[in-house]
Structure 1
Amino acid sequence: MNKSFQHTAIALALLAAYAGTAQATPLVAAVAAAPSGAALAAATGAAATGEATGVANVAANEAASEAAAGAQAEAGAAAETFVGALQTVLVTTRRRVESSQSVPTPMTVLGEDALEGSRIYRVQDLQQLLPSTTINYVHARQLSFAVRGLGNNPASDGLEGSVGIYLDNVYLARPGMAAFDALDVQQLELLRGPQGTLFGKNTTAGVLNISTKKPTSTPERSVELSGGQFGYVQGKLALSGPVNDTTAYRLSAYKTHDDGYITNLYNGDKVQGGDRQGVRGQLLYEPGRAFSLRVIADYHEENSNNGTLVFYSAGPSGRAITQAALVGATPVLDPARRAVNLDSGSSVTVHQGGVSAEANWTFADDARLTSITAWRRWNFVPRNDDGLPVPVTLNVGASANHKQFTQELRWATPSGRAVESVFGAYYYYQELSNNSFTENGPLADRYNGNPAGAWSNVSSTAPGELRVNSYALFGQSTWHATDRLDLTAGVRASYEDKWARVIRNAPTGGATVTGAALAARNGRYGVFDSGDLSLTQSSPTALFSAGYKLQPEVLLYGSLSHGEKSGGINLAVPGAGGVASMLVGAERANALELGVKSTLLENRLQLNGNLFATIVHGYQSNAYDPVSRTSYLTNAGDVRTRGIEIEAIVTPLRGLTLRANGSFNDASYLRYTNAPCAPERAGTFCDLSGRNALVNAPRWIGNLGAQYSRAVAEGLQGYVNANYAYRSDTYGTLDASEYAKIPSYSVSNLSLGLRSTRGAAWDISLWVKNAFDKHHYTSMWNSGFGSYNAVIGTPRTAGITGRHEF
């Protein structure tokens, strides 16, 4: 057995033994015990990579072109020795250009080739490529990004996500700010575990770092057109080139339309589709090595009927069906029909954009000062139907208008010294206003069992306001103790000041009522004023890690980290919990990582594995109030996640790249005594302590991928891409109801095409997403009378894409 491979296999086996999980151990034990060929097959078939791309991509968010080019040239020269050798993937996660394999933390890297090959162009589809990742998407406001089961808090205007999303080094406070079509993406990196000692905003579950392509000094021009089933049409344009000797530009734009794949039986229209479009412009000023300035401006908008939910389950009582019958309506009970019956329909409009400026000063000793200044705005307006073809609730939802300003300063000491450090300061300011609204129709009272006149034809508005000031100082240093051993320590101190106020105006419309009808009206829509709500908090973050090169191509690492995310304020009128329930406590995470990264078999196999264990106190998650029928953020007790992640990429022959990743996650509540009760359990609060019942935390996630290309004629290259994504079943709502379980499912995507390799540059491909038309659900939501609604995944969709570079 190859000695490096043996070291890696032993390390993986030791990791599995440490995990103590019977489910995880056989996989790595088989790799350790098998001869090299069998081990390779086991690794590529069941374990493997998060798309550590076969094409080296220099992260676009750092102006370190000389160092990157040197490292890339060295990697390329080594790669030429071997047929099908892997190339080095460069990242700037630690604010220095380095190989992803030398960073002692769990990290998955996706390049442009992996995203394009899988036809992944929206953030909500990334879970088909990433390990330990769940993306809960209804529409742009109800989107959450969770890693290892942590981060399921969508539709919370008063709190940032547990997973931080960065676009060209700019923090996106609302996950929905990333819900636009991927435009000119160069590379993205997923870091798992608490982050904050190097990134602007502190997060407890991980970071998704997205880098777009920079302006180029040589002209680049491309146009791309796609068409497919369900009325799908997309066009993309990218232009780049020099303005003069010191300045370059880049302009990219897209427009997408699709009709939708759900039929509204009320009028025969298709829903769950719409229009999206956006533009991004950049200028890069580089008068010399000592200074660079990159300015980016972008704008995106969406007009769609995304957010259409299907009826999934009536719960144990079936009362939702009974109440619908009272008003002459029957929900579409079979969600597999991909149909709804809505008289009003659902829709969303989104307008967002921003501008950022990143300046880098490089001094004579290679120390670097970086300043990143950014302003962004996000405006969301929904229209939501009650799911019935009769006028019960005509429109309900919450609009949001978000504005943010961020300023980050970083100082990086020179590279190549015994101690390398990064120090920084960060400021974040946010203004947000929202409006929760309800417009009832004439059948509202009969459907809800109210006294006559209580809710029918009544309208209500409840505006809220939020202001946030966040300040932080952070730093991280790495000591190269020996040629093989690196020790890293980082700290962060954050202080946040939040203010909010929520009011509910007097209801309008409806009949003049007294007695029981008036009490019912005021109980649901009566005047409310929270007064001034404030929350201040200091949040420390710390990291200590060690990396040891067992061999030049095998890195062993371990880390201990503590991350904190401040509390928030619910910007909605509270239910039975009163004003006190509007304040949400901090989320605190303690994490342990043990892992190995290796490049083996003469640079043909990259095999990484890690064990993780995280304990979270005050886990922030969304709950449902059956009285007010609204979602609200709460601290869902203490949570533990632990498991194993394995990633690999292998090139067994020239032109063929196989990728895979797998994760096992044992996620459970250590203590959660006041959880909302599922409808099948009596009481208002239930004890979920000790249960594997975290919302949207699949126990198993596995992704496989293959890319193959070869010359088919002179000047022509043919290629095939395939990927397979599997997720085990999981609870879809916080109450852990058996009626709200999301069944396990798998999705397969395929594409094949031809591209020119000389002369005019063109590329044409045929593709199919969800090739075997697997019916599946991506998220679940509570609804009235103990029922549940769901989001249906996209059915089989075939299409064609053509690209021309000119």
Structure 2
Amino acid sequence: MRKRPVLLAGVASLLLTTSPAVAAERVAEDNAAAEDGSAQSDITVTARRRAETAQSVPLAISVIGGDAIERTGAFNVNRLTQLAPTLQFYSSNPRNSAANIRGLGAPFGLTNDGIEQGVGIYVDDVYYSRAASSTFDFLDVKQLEVLRGPQGTLYGKNTTAGAINITSRAPTFELEGRGEVSFGNYGFKQAKLAVSGPLSENVAARLAVSTTGRNGTVYNTNSKVWTQSQDNIGLRGQLLWRASSLVDVTLAGDYNTQNPICCGTVYYGYGATQRATARQFPALAAALNYKPASTNPYDRVTDLDTELRAKNSTGGASAKVKWQVGKGTVTSITAWRFWNWDPSNDRDFTGLPITSLSQNPSKQNQFTQELRYGLSSRNLDLQIGAFAFNQSVHTTGTQQQGAAASVFLLSSAQITAACNASPATCANGSSGILNGLTAKNDIRLNNTSLALYSQASWKVTDRFTVQPGVRLNYDQKKGWYNSVVTNGAGTQVFTSSTNNALLSAQAGVLASQQFAPKFSDWNFSYDLTLSYRLADDIRAYATYSKTFKSGGINLNGVPSDANGNPLLAAATVKPESVQHLEAGVKSQFFNRKLTLNLSAFRTDIDNYQAQVTNGALGVLRGYLANAEKVRTEGVEIDSSFRLNDRFNVYGNAAYTDAKYRQFTTAPCPPELSGGTTVTGTQTPGVAGVAGALSPASCNISGQRLPGVSRWAYSWGGEYNLPAHLLGKDGEVYVGYDGSYRSAFSSNPSLSAYTWIHGYALHNIRAGYRVDQGIDVFGWVRNLTGTNYIELLTVASGNTGLIAAQLGDPRTYGATVKFQF
């Protein structure tokens, strides 16, 4: 019953009201009304590598302009999810980040350098291979487009779930500038400045800089500091050289850095597992005289005892050449990017020294080269492209167990046996068994991808268009995984160390492993879109895509066989085979004042890349494998109504039903884990009953995919009145943006303990602005102070401990923007 008013509000707004960008603004070049003043121009997009109106593009696309991004406070991809209902973003820290569209993208709950992101992120035509880049502030953005569905025949890197296409503001040959300064509670400070102008008759430059700082929102009683802070700096420069009337050359470079106190969790609760009662969290905490800083997560208090560090920097340089050749255009984009990651995490989620050190710094370099030819004529639009990508990643890190690890992670029988085998180790108690157990990791990846792609739009008649596309792709991945585990005495620990009770107990927690996985494969994919203009402002389309997501390699460790050797069959992951169907209608009414777009989709995936565990193989950690079949299907509505220059509203809705059609060897939820693994004809015990037998794996066919809300809405609008202040004619305005997402699972397999309840967020703003001048406004985000969870995490060891990552509390502040 509590959900019903929120749902009805979202539906009602749809009846009145495309994306927030349509409601909030128009692209600068298209912002003027038609000559007769009766109609608004359409938003211009470049989703298909050519300028065209959003309503003429036969695909589901959300368009958000730079001013709308700034007004709504959506300064990174995570904030963007409140405006685009089908976009989900999950991040326990910048490295462990994933963007999903319609429930697809990257496996939920596991970071692995050896797999592809299903959602491509492009900034000025340059592919960003690391999801960490999406945690940085948007910098001098002109427009952002979220493309839903496969985009492999149009974009350089294959993307099976969709793409986020970001376009920066370009250098200008007239001097101009824009900036903003914001202040808010929690010590929030943000400043942005961009200046553009000519250096000569044929050379123009643009420079943009931004900085964001905010105190933390969760207090750590152990370190006496506030965590979840923000500390971002961004810099971007562009140089445009108009070499001739036919050739433009754009050089760009950027650098972004983050150094927050991040990313911590709070105690969320406990859920009974099948581990012995004495080895579950309540008993273990009592034995160690430990109490969480608070058992109410919304007190925003934690007691993590390991340093929290999330140093993150990324940047690069690119050269884009556009050359008019006859009736077509040749475009070359050459780019290099880097990413450096220096973390420190508390992976036991408590104030106890269980995992006392968890840090895996990583460095990446990537090179891309894209060459494409575009031709637009009266009856044919054509894009032909070639793309080359090389990525090298090197991760070196350390995980170390602390003094409380033995009690938390070992059974009493293991402790007794280990102490009997090595009395000196237990001279000062059992803590010596695992204390100092250290894994030093050396992980490497070289990833190469080559592709040829093409897409054509043939206007068979003035109303009917046929759009076929093809892609030929080659992928090669070479990896190296070497984890050297030593105990407190300096002895190396192997999985095969079963003849010594001490080493055997240690190997059950961390064990040395080394392997060199390889993967390579060719793939051919294609799509076909048919579109028909039913009336001047009504267009219907239908798409079929047969595509793929590249295979991968496991770089987080794999199960071992009976002899302690890594199972190399589990070191590689098959490509996903994707079949996608979509149909939609794009329409405008009342002289284009009302926009109403509808799309329905269904995507079937064979060999879906998912996180798995298998107790029968003695797995110590999650790894990637292929689920047999997955399907996601749903309906999306984007709508807006612009009555006049004074009043506009928008409403978006998405229904997504994403489930495993067949997944027979999935990881089990915590309530079916922790006990002795069944063998032979044994029957698993009852869920959540201490000491019961646990299944080796679980059949979760028919269950929902994690992280996906069935229902998601966004709605809002803006109203303004003319005003004359400080000798200037302007307007006073008030704006509102709301969003809602229904409950979703935060565990790879559905668990009664890890459902995140649905929640609604409300943001408001009010201010005064002068066109192309000053804009002063106040804002409140999460107006109602809604307590909500972004992510729940089940602690390792099957103790039943569950930790939470909290969403932001209510924040408020003021912003001053200016242009010249």
Contact 1:51 1:129 in 2 (8 A): no
Amino acid in structure 2 at the alignment position of 1:261: T
Identify the range of structure 1 (134-143 vs 712-721) with the bigger mean alpha-carbon deviation: 712-721
Alignment partner of 1:391: what SS? Answer: coil
Q: Distance in 1 between matches of 2:398 and 2:407?
A: 21
Listed one character per residue, the Cα deviations across residues 691-712 of structure 1 (whole Å, up to 9, x for unaligned) are 2x20111100000021222212
Structure 1 partner of 2:355: 393
Structure 2 partner of 1:690: 702
Alignment partner of 2:507: what SS? Answer: helix
Structure 2 partner of 1:299: 255
Structure 2 partner of 1:492: 471
**1:416 equivalent in alignment to 2:370:** no
**Tell me, which stretches of 5 or more residues in structure 1 are unaligned?**
1-26, 31-39, 59-68
Listed one character per residue, the Cα deviations across residues 600-647 of structure 1 (whole Å, up to 9, x for unaligned) are 111111110011111111222344688766443332331111111010
Q: Distance in 2 between matches of 1:479 and 1:600?
A: 27
**1:245 equivalent in alignment to 2:228:** no
Structure 2 partner of 1:441: 402
Q: Distance in 2 between matches of 1:440 and 1:81?
A: 70
Q: Distance in 1 between matches of 2:82 and 2:644?
A: 25
Structure 2 partner of 1:764: 776
Alignment of 1:256-655 (within 5 A): 256-317=212-273, 319-331=280-292, 332-363=294-325, 365-385=326-346, 386-413=348-375, 415-449=376-410, 451=415, 452=430, 453-507=432-486, 509-510=488-489, 515-530=500-515, 532-575=516-559, 578-623=567-612, 630-655=621-646
Contact 2:608 2:628 in 1 (8 A): yes
**Tell me, which stretches of 5 or more residues in structure 2 are unaligned?**
1-6, 416-429, 494-498, 562-566, 673-693
Listed one character per residue, the Cα deviations across residues 646-692 of structure 1 (whole Å, up to 9, x for unaligned) are 1011112431111110011111211111111112234121111122x
Identify the range of structure 1 (106-115 vs 449-458) with the bigger mean alpha-carbon deviation: 449-458
Contact 2:221 2:302 in 1 (8 A): yes
Structure 2 partner of 1:170: 126
**1:194 equivalent in alignment to 2:150:** yes
Listed one character per residue, the Cα deviations across residues 189-239 of structure 1 (whole Å, up to 9, x for unaligned) are 111111110100011111111111111111112332111111211121211
Structure 2 partner of 1:3: none
Contact 2:19 2:64 in 1 (8 A): no
Q: Which of 14, 18, 22 is the equivalent residue of 1:52? A: 22
Structure 2 partner of 1:37: none
Alignment partner of 2:243: what SS? Answer: strand
Aligned length: 747
Amino acid in structure 1 at the alignment position of 2:14: T
Percent of aligned pairs with the same amino acid = 33
Listed one character per residue, the Cα deviations across residues 710-729 of structure 1 (whole Å, up to 9, x for unaligned) are 21225232121210000000
Task: Measure how far apart 1:595 and its partner are.
Answer: 0.5
Q: Distance in 2 between matches of 1:77 and 1:221?
A: 24
Q: 1:184 to 1:233 in 2, by over 3 A?
A: same
Task: Measure how far apart 1:403 and its partner are.
Answer: 1.0
Listed one character per residue, the Cα deviations across residues 491-531 of structure 1 (whole Å, up to 9, x for unaligned) are 0010011111101124253587993122222343333211x
Alignment of 1:90-101 (within 5 A): 90-101=44-55
Q: 1:366 to 1:709 in 2, by over 3 A?
A: farther
Contact 1:49 1:608 in 2 (8 A): no
Amino acid in structure 2 at the alignment position of 1:677: C
Q: 1:440 to 1:506 in 2, by over 3 A?
A: closer
Alignment partner of 2:84: what SS? Answer: coil
Contact 2:206 2:238 in 1 (8 A): yes
Task: Measure how far apart 1:321 and its partner are.
Answer: 3.3
**1:805 equivalent in alignment to 2:805:** no
Contact 1:138 1:306 in 2 (8 A): no
Amino acid in structure 1 at the alignment position of 2:438: S
TM-score, normalization by structure 1: 0.89
Alignment partner of 1:521: what SS? Answer: helix
Contact 1:663 1:702 in 2 (8 A): yes
Task: Measure how far apart 1:382 and its partner are.
Answer: 1.0
TM-score, normalization by structure 2: 0.87
Amino acid in structure 2 at the alignment position of 1:146: N
Amino acid in structure 1 at the alignment position of 2:58: P
Contact 2:468 2:529 in 1 (8 A): yes
Q: Which of 707, 711, 728 is the equivalent residue of 2:742? A: 728
Listed one character per residue, the Cα deviations across residues 564-583 of structure 1 (whole Å, up to 9, x for unaligned) are 11111121222458333231
Task: Measure how far apart 1:790 and its partner are.
Answer: 2.2
Q: Distance in 1 between matches of 2:471 and 2:341?
A: 33
Structure 2 partner of 1:679: 670
Contact 2:24 2:718 in 1 (8 A): no
Q: Which of 658, 662, 665 is the equivalent residue of 2:653? A: 662
Listed one character per residue, the Cα deviations across residues 761-805 of structure 1 (whole Å, up to 9, x for unaligned) are 322211111010100111222312243322110000011111233
Identify the range of structure 1 (217-226 vs 94-103) with the bigger mean alpha-carbon deviation: 217-226
**1:208 equivalent in alignment to 2:208:** no
Question: RMSD over aligned Cα, in angstroms?
Answer: 2.3
Identify the range of structure 1 (417-426 vs 509-518) with the bigger mean alpha-carbon deviation: 509-518
**1:139 equivalent in alignment to 2:86:** no
Q: 1:203 to 1:429 in 2, by over 3 A?
A: same
Q: 1:224 to 1:161 in 2, by over 3 A?
A: same
Structure 1 partner of 2:179: 223
Task: Measure how far apart 1:436 and its partner are.
Answer: 4.4
Q: Distance in 1 between matches of 2:79 and 2:94?
A: 14
Alignment partner of 1:140: what SS? Answer: coil
Identify the range of structure 1 (327-336 vs 503-512) with the bigger mean alpha-carbon deviation: 503-512
Contact 2:588 2:594 in 1 (8 A): yes
Structure 2 partner of 1:752: 766
Q: 1:50 to 1:143 in 2, by over 3 A?
A: same
Task: Measure how far apart 1:42 and its partner are.
Answer: 5.0
Alignment of 1:767-782 (within 5 A): 767-782=779-794
Structure 2 partner of 1:23: none
Listed one character per residue, the Cα deviations across residues 293-332 of structure 1 (whole Å, up to 9, x for unaligned) are 1111001111112221222232223812332333232233
Contact 1:748 1:772 in 2 (8 A): yes
Structure 2 partner of 1:64: none
Amino acid in structure 1 at the alignment position of 2:765: S
Contact 1:701 1:727 in 2 (8 A): yes
Listed one character per residue, the Cα deviations across residues 229-251 of structure 1 (whole Å, up to 9, x for unaligned) are 11211121211111111011111
Task: Measure how far apart 1:41 and its partner are.
Answer: 9.2
Task: Measure how far apart 1:740 and its partner are.
Answer: 0.8
Q: Distance in 1 between matches of 2:586 and 2:164?
A: 20
Alignment partner of 2:522: what SS? Answer: strand
Listed one character per residue, the Cα deviations across residues 516-567 of structure 1 (whole Å, up to 9, x for unaligned) are 122222343333211x321011122211011100011100111101121111
Q: Distance in 2 between matches of 1:633 and 1:712?
A: 59
